[in-house]
Amino acid sequence: MKKTKKERQSELKETITTMPFITDEELAKKFGVSIQTIRLDRMELSIPEVRERIKSVATNEWNETVKALPIDEIIGEVIDLELDERAISILDIGREHVFSRNKIARGHHLFAQANSLAVAVINDELALTARSDIQFKRQVKEGERVVAKADVKGNDEKDHTIVSVQSFVDNELVFQGIFEMYRSNEQKGEATE
């Protein structure tokens, strides 16, 4: 049975409240309506698009937390962060990220998302990438959402903090890297194993 507009909008508002990073495309599938209908519903309910919702959460929650770089310099939008522990960011691959002839994402965008997340997770005013070992697992295409997850693994023999980053599209691994991070202060030894 088809829902009334009022019922759909009520459920839409509830869905976005519980899953603020859901896209219009995912909402359209969930409610069995067009993307345009979802956009109109959001406009009537004064709910911003997913990109603005993510920015709002990231800016409000982590602006004072991230020490090594300004939050707006992180590639992708931070959705979870615990310094010297873990971090998660998302990057929606748009036209500006892909080669025009085949719509495949340029590798430097995936690397930049992972690398900036590795910097952001470090609890220090200065964090620099000393070395990285990366692998691209599959091509990423325009329109896909990349979820990068960083985990602090501990310190190496040079006292660099080791950060593992894995990037996924729909739970499929597309990129992974190990980043050796130089940090300037005495907190080097506090990273968890």
Tokens of 86: 């873990």
- Please list the pLDDT of the chain residue by residue as tens digits (193 residues): 778 889 999 999 888 877 777 888 889 999 999 989 998 998 888 888 876 766 665 554 544 466 666 666 788 888 888 889 999 999 999 999 999 999 999 999 999 999 999 999 998 888 899 999 999 999 999 999 999 999 999 887 777 999 999 999 998 999 999 999 998 764 444 443 3
Whether this model's pTM surpasses 0.75: no
Per-residue pLDDT at 186: 45
Question: Per-domain residue ranges for the chain?
Answer: 5-47, 53-190
Please provide the CATH number assigned to the domain covering 5-47.
1.10.10.10
Torsion of CA 55, 57, 60, 65, to 10 degrees: -100
Q: Which CATH architecture has domain 53-190?
A: Roll (3.10)
